[in-house]
Amino acid sequence: MDTDPVAPAGPDDVALGLRAVHRAASELRRGTPVLLRGAGETLLVSAAETVGAAGLSTIAALGRSAPVLLLAPARAAAFAPWPGPFRPCGRWRRRPRSPSACRRRCSSRRPCAAWPTPLPRACCRRAPARTGWRPPPLAGAALALAKLGRLLPALVAAPVRDAPALLRHDLLSVEAGQILAYPAGAAASLRKVAEAAVPLEAAPDARIVAFRAADGGIEHLAILVGRPEDALAGGTAPLARMHSECFTGDLLGSLRCDCGPQLQGAIRRMAADGAGVLIYLAQEGRGIGLVNKLRAYALQDGGLDTLDANRALGWGADERNFLVAATMLQQLGIERVRLLTNNPEKLAALAACGIVVEGRVQHSFAPNGVNDGYLETKARRFGHLLA
């Protein structure tokens, strides 16, 4: 008896949404505008640091009105620290102008914004105060998409004109709701994809387990020292640490931070304890990425501390998603831990995500003469318990 073939099960809506957001963030990184849909409108957006002349031309051709510059509030306050709403003056120049030229053309008498990469600059002026002025409804989702792409949270945006013109440009489209749901969805979709024994100098019995989200993006790692699952079965909560990757500190031995000593110290402590798990998160620079961390370093060399440098670039004080770590621990069967940390936020985050934290284990290292100010900022402004 003939039967109709059964269609293979396809990816669910969550996975499709994650992939759409991942692709959109990649388009922004390449300098290609994307369509952002939601709130009854469609917004054409491109990252300010990658847009280039071609992207600006596309936005000008498809935009229903003059493009605006979308900035995270902290970034706007950093380069335009006077009150009131702002907008580009509407004329994008193909050749960068000097600050003095901008001052001659702007009523605000302020220099134009200087981006970290060579881009056409928008001469900015103070917009007249208007009752009820608000940013575009999709501005928050647009800035979130730039952050997911590890780009500066600054975008050129304009509402689109008509559908036929959009079809000719073959632009990628993504829903605002998918962007806002991405962090939680990506964390919840993590699955183990590989595991192998990797003997370490301080822990010869170490294993590394790799986890990947449904969008196929960057992997996060768990370094297992000994058999923490067996310790848990025996009634002892194993040592655990959430460690965000730090290329400069972990790999190069940078003296600007304490990440390298914290990483190696945690592995040694777990080996001495008999077992432990170190969750190695692909969230460089408290979640802003390596390139932006280097930009923040440059601002710190100019006098800002860690927190203010991040805010000057438009980022929050801490952009990490600790649901990632909780999901990995749960998949490893480790739902009770003693946490190696000085950061109270990590204790609260793990507890909120369903992991039982039976105690905090002090994990601090002495300053080295270079990172003294960095450690002082962690204690004073981030609330880390270093004493």
pLDDT band at 119 (very low <50, low <70, confident <90, very high): very low
In this structure, what token pair is assigned to residue 138? 């999709």
Q: Are 95 and 120 spatial neighbours (Cβ–Cβ below 8 Å)?
A: yes
Q: What is the model's pLDDT at position 75? A: 82
Total tally of structural domains belonging to the chain: 2
Domain CATH number, residue 115: 3.90.870.10
- Regarding whether 215 and 176 lie in a shared domain, the answer is no
- Regarding whether 264 and 176 lie in a shared domain, the answer is no
Closest CA to 68 of 147, 132, 134: 134
Considering the domain boundaries, does residue 301 fall inside one?
A: no
Domain closes at, from 115, 150, 184: 184
Considering the domain boundaries, does residue 241 fall inside one?
A: yes
Helix (H) or strand (E) holding 230: helix 228-233
- Regarding whether 78 and 94 lie in a shared domain, the answer is yes
pLDDT in tens, 5-60: 444 444 588 889 999 999 999 999 999 999 999 978 889 999 999 998 988 888 88
pTM of the model: 0.82
Closest CA to 329 of 312, 314, 350, 310: 350
Q: What is the model's pLDDT at position 136? A: 78
User: How confident is the model over 270-291, as a mean pLDDT?
Assistant: 96
- Regarding whether 149 and 203 lie in a shared domain, the answer is no
Taking the C-alpha atoms of residue 323 and residue 183, their distance in angstroms, rounded to an integer, is 9
- Regarding whether 101 and 45 lie in a shared domain, the answer is yes
Domain closes at, from 184, 211, 232: 184
Q: Is the pLDDT of residue 122 over 50?
A: no
- Regarding whether 371 and 225 lie in a shared domain, the answer is yes
Average pLDDT across the chain, whole number: 83
3-state secondary structure of 378: helix
Most confident of 84-88, 126-130, 200-204, 228-232: 200-204
Considering the domain boundaries, does residue 213 fall inside one?
A: yes
- Regarding whether 195 and 74 lie in a shared domain, the answer is no
Considering the domain boundaries, does residue 113 fall inside one?
A: yes
Q: Which amino acid is at 317?
A: A
Residues 6+ apart with CB under 8 A from 178: 17, 18, 20, 21
**Paired residues of 154 in beta bridges:** 71
Which residues form the domain of 242? 190-283+320-381
The lowest-confidence range among 162-166, 348-352, 366-370 is 162-166
Domain closes at, from 162, 184, 206: 184
Say which residue, 335 or 79, is predicted with more confidence: 335
User: How confident is the model over 256-280, as a mean pLDDT?
Assistant: 96
Could you give phi then psi for residue 197, rounded to 5 degrees? -75, 130
Q: Which residue reads 């170490």 in tokens?
A: 206
Q: Which amino acid is at 248?
A: T
Among all residues, which ones are annotated catalytic?
318, 320
Q: What is the model's pLDDT at position 134? A: 67
pLDDT in tens, 211-236: 999 988 899 999 999 999 888 888 88
Q: Is the pLDDT of residue 129 over 70?
A: no
Say which residue, 95 or 81, is predicted with more confidence: 81
